[in-house]
Amino acid sequence: MKYGVFSDIHSNLEALEAVLEALKKEKVDRYLCVGDIVGYAANPRECLKIVKDLNCPAVCGNHDRAVTDLLDYSSFNDAAQAAVEWTKGNLNDREKDYLRGLPFTYEEGQITMVHGSLDRPEEFEYLLDEEAAVRTIKLCKTKICFVGHTHQPFEYYRGMKFLVNVGSVGQPRDGDPRAAYCVFDSESDKVRIKRVEYDVRSAMDKIIAAGLPEYLATRLSEGS
């Protein structure tokens, strides 16, 4: 089976549409979402609808929890806090209920998904070094574990297990503004992290027009 795996959409409709168009060309059989559907950009409702319509297994991200008041976001930076407040005011109860229902982890066959770390997934640890990566791989019961959260794609292999950060659809932070996603072929065990260009200018203009912090717009063009 060929999987299209994506994470950290963060309400960026233009980026999500570009990724799904690219995955359609890949002829993937199934989609997987590694969390943070909402937050930061200006189209949370549209992005939520798309993910729901895909009938797509998904795990919760920290922003998904924050906008439903299931996570204390007082430690978020000012721009992120402003985005949470704005998003809360632009989602209805049904949309928030969907986000509340997302699990911390998901397993399917040889695949595990978690937004941050399998070590206390509710704390959304950033996997930024080998030590943190090893802890999650040791806890993983399947061959491959997909994560997100850092917005920086990477692959880590230990023995017969794979840990793959699929990067961010809607707010990359690795210096490349293109939307990131992953294609996984379970028959060949081949993992490919890919990038696709999207209409960054349109996404930026929407953020500014919505009254969200300008920084959330400018960082999209920088991939930072």
Domain CATH code at residue 208:
3.60.21.10
The amino acid sitting at 167 is G
Q: Along the 224 residues of the chain, how does pLDDT read in single tens digits?
A: 999 999 999 999 999 999 999 999 999 999 999 999 999 999 999 999 999 999 999 999 999 999 999 999 999 999 999 999 999 999 999 999 999 999 999 999 999 999 999 999 999 999 998 899 999 999 999 999 999 999 999 999 998 899 999 999 999 999 999 999 999 999 898 999 999 999 999 999 999 999 999 999 999 999 99
Count of structural domains, the chain? 1
- Alpha-carbon gap, residue 73 to 150, rounded angstroms: 17
Within a domain: residue 156? no
Within a domain: residue 89? yes
Within a domain: residue 155? no
Tokens 């002829």 belong to: 27
Q: Is 44 left (phi over 0), alpha (psi -120 to 50) or beta?
A: alpha
The amino acid sitting at 184 is F
DSSP percent split of the chain into helix, strand, coil, nearest 5: 35, 20, 45
- Give me the pLDDT at residue 178, please: 98
Are the C-beta atoms of 61 and 47 separated by less than 8 Å? no
pTM: 0.96
Question: Phi and psi of 154, rounded to 5°?
Answer: -160, 165
42 secondary structure, DSSP code = S
Within a domain: residue 23? yes
Within a domain: residue 139? no
Are the C-beta atoms of 180 and 140 separated by less than 8 Å? no
- Alpha-carbon gap, residue 64 to 83, rounded angstroms: 12
Within a domain: residue 128? no
Within a domain: residue 82? yes
What range defines the domain where residue 216 resides? 2-105+167-222
Query: What is the torsional sign of CA 55, 18, 217, 182?
Result: positive
- Give me the pLDDT at residue 67, please: 98
Core vs surface per residue 46-84: b (16+ CB within 10 A) or e = ebbebbeebeebbbbbbbbbbbbeebebeebeeebebbb
Within a domain: residue 145? no
- Give me the pLDDT at residue 159, please: 86
- DSSP letters for 92-144: -HHHHHHHHT--SEEEETTEEEESS-SSSGGG-----SHHHHHHHHHH--SSE
CA atoms within 13 Å, Cβ hemisphere of 20: 18
